[in-house]
């Protein structure tokens, strides 16, 4: 049973990490047109909580993507400079959508693992019930 609860802890940590990644992707997409916005990215790290809990995944610190901001020509924009250009965000929608797809795929895989551990624990308890 201990191994099974370790399994569920690892799967749950995976789901937490993937949903954090999904949240950042949504924030990036929502701010795709915010002038001066830099896309937020997060990296995953392996973490040992304590000896009995096994290894889980955790999100690292949120970082800002340091690539160049897109220059957009719009002389009527309130933030436009004298040449008519202003700095938009550096969000690439295609990249964000691919990232969120990957996050949701990994989330589902974790969920599947969690469910399987739950079923295994259930059949073990069934054996005791007889």
Partner 1 sequence: MDLNLNILRLASTLAAHSTARQAIVTENVAQADTPGYRARDIDAFSETLASGSVFIPQVTRAGHMTFGADPRGFGSQELAAFGAETPNGNSVSLEDQMMRSAESRQTYDLALGVYQKTMDILRISIGRNR
Binding status of residue 116 toward partner 1 by CB under 8 A? yes
Distance (Å, whole) CA 105 – CA 86: 37
Whose Cβ is closer to partner 1: residue 9's or residue 91's? 9
Distance (Å, whole) CA 20 – CA 103: 9
Q: Indicate the helix (H) or strand (E) that contains 48.
A: strand 44-48
Stretch that binds partner 1, among 30-38, 68-76, 81-89, 109-117 (CB under 8 A): 109-117
Dihedral Cα 67, 73, 77, 78, nearest 10 deg: 60
Binding status of residue 25 toward partner 1 by CB under 8 A? no
- Give the residues lining the site for partner 1 (CB under 8 A): 3-4, 6-7, 10-11, 13-14, 17-18, 21, 43-46, 54-57, 102-103, 105-106, 109-110, 112-114, 116-117, 119-120, 123-124, 127, 130
């Amino acid at each position: 049973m201990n191994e099974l609860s370790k399994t569920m802890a690892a799967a749950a940590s995976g789901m937490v990490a993937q949903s954090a990644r999904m949240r950042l992707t949504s924030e990036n997409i929502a701010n795709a047109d915010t002038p001066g916005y830099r896309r937020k990215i997060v990296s995953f790290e392996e973490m040992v909580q304590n000896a009995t809990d096994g290894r889980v995944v955790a999100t690292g610190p949120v970082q800002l993507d340091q690539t160049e901001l897109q220059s957009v020509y719009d002389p009527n924009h309130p933030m436009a400079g004298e040449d008519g250009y202003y700095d938009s965000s550096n969000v690439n929608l295609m990249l964000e959508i691919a990232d969120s797809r990957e996050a949701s795929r990994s989330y589902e895989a974790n969920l599947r693992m969690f469910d399987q551990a739950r079923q295994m624990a259930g059949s073990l308890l069934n054996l005791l019930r007889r």
